[in-house]
Amino acid sequence: MSLRNYLDKIRPNFEEGGKLHAFKSVYDGFETFLYVPNETSKSGTSIHDAIDSKRIMSLVVLSLVPAMLFGMYNIGYQNALAAGKLADATCWGMFLYGMLALLPKILVSYIVGLGIEFAWAQWKGEEIQEGYLVSGILIPLIIPVTTPLWILVLAVAFAVIFTKEIFGGTGMNIFNVALAARAFLFFSYPSKMTGDSIWVAKDAIFGLGYTL
């Protein structure tokens, strides 16, 4: 049985009257993440298509991948440059170091942000909104590499709840979620958001990079 057929088979459990109806938003979010919706718009547009906001946001995320990859390399480059070891460093080594430094922030950003999105959708009985797919990668890209993960958790939670969800969700918020997270960090923890040293990773990771 294919995954598509399996999802169709269990769908009645999540519909009105089903034993898992309380988790319908989770089912819808998972299904539309994997497949395009089986409905098209009925009015108000000149082109009728099954593509939804998740697909559009996914394209934006893909467009950010080159910037993310270069950012990973630059993290390693700046670390080697600050250590005075640039001549000894390799491009691959600098990239791997940057990836190990940035990846935890991306994971934390998505886990916290999407977790709040799922919980909010369940609480409100609404569909899971997809706007955080983009914000989840933008936030780690615009904060200093030295930002502690616990501070990132606070910034993501603040941005998602107070600049997005309370305004009605994706398309209704009047502030940019990623910039709101950055502003929260700047005013709440200015010592960790200002200066030149915050942009240079200072610790070796699994034998890669240099301790400053």
Give me the residue label for tokens 């797919």. 133
pTM summary value: 0.81
Task: Encode pLDDT of 107-149 as tens digits.
Answer: 999 999 989 988 888 787 777 777 788 999 999 999 999 999 9
Task: Encode pLDDT of 140-199 as tens digits.
Answer: 999 999 999 999 999 999 999 999 888 887 777 888 999 999 999 999 999 999 888 899
List the beta bridge partners of residue 205: 208
What does the DSSP assignment read for 87-109?
A: TT--HHHHHHHHHHHHHHHHHHH
**C-alpha separations of 29 from 23, 145, 168 in Å:** 10, 31, 17
Domain-wise residue ranges, the chain: 1-51, 53-199
CA separation for the pair 117, 123 (Å, rounded)? 10
